[in-house]
């Protein structure tokens, strides 16, 4: 996870109060699990499901004692599904904004091509227009998807995760 993603996650936690969100360790574990690099086994906090070491008496993420909520040996299906849906939401928004950037680049290319062709038809200007397409496609997709879409996607996914987590907590209480 990048430093900016960690800062966004910390900011989301602060802005959402005491509402539990996935710890950095749980996020890393679930990413490994979904990549097929780790089994769904270990020692996890009985409250927030963050991985905890055997010698720990309390969870470093939620500060709950293992006596209060005994550790579990796996992350339950609903929690894994919440993580999968969170990543899907982020991906959907980031990719949508990136495709919007590509569409804008193509639209700018078509307009510039039509103007260039109708005015002069100069081959060098048409070549420059094509170069403009490649540059704009990369820049606009990166800006809209990688910057704006990433920020909006992360906020939206975190907000929905909190709602799902609250429903999950109410269900298991």
Name the domain boundary from 52, 75, 98.
75
What range defines the domain where residue 166 resides? 76-173
Per-residue pLDDT, averaged over 11-31, amounts to 70
Cα gap 169→173, rounded to integer Å: 6
pLDDT for residue 18? 52
Same domain, 85 and 155: yes
- For residue 134, the Cα-to-chain-centroid distance in whole angstroms is 27
Q: How many CB atoms lie within 10 A of CB 150?
A: 19
- Count of domains forming the chain: 2
Q: What is the pLDDT of residue 173?
A: 76
- pLDDT at residue number 115: 87
**Do 143 and 137 touch, CB atoms closer than 8 A?**
no
Does 2 have pLDDT greater than 50?
no
Residues 167 and 82 in one domain: yes
List, for residues 155-170, the tens digit of each pLDDT value: 999 999 999 999 999 9
- pLDDT of the residue at 94: 97
Mean pLDDT of the chain: 87
* Whole-number Å distance between alpha carbons of 117 and 170: 64
Considering Cα of 131, then 134, then 137, then 138, what sign does the dihedral take?
negative
Site of tokens 């290319």: 109
User: Does one domain contain both 31 and 1?
Assistant: yes
């Amino acid at each position: 996870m990048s430093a900016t993603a960690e800062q966004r996650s910390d900011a989301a936690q602060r802005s959402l109060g005491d509402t539990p969100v996935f710890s950095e360790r749980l996020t890393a574990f679930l990413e490994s699990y979904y990549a097929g690099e780790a089994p769904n086994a270990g020692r996890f906090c009985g409250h927030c499901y963050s991985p905890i070491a055997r010698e720990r008496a309390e969870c470093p993420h939620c500060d709950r004692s293992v006596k209060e909520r005994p550790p579990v040996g796996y992350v339950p299906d609903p929690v894994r599904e919440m993580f999968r849906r969170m990543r899907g939401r982020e991906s959907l928004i980031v990719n949508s904004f990136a495709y919007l950037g590509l569409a804008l680049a193509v639209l700018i290319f078509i307009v510039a091509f039509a103007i260039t062709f109708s005015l002069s038809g100069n081959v060098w200007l048409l070549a420059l227009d094509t170069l403009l397409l490649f540059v704009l496609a990369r820049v606009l997709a990166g800006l809209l998807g990688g910057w704006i879409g990433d920020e909006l996607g992360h906020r939206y996914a975190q907000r929905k995760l909190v709602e799902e987590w609250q429903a999950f907590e109410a269900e298991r209480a």
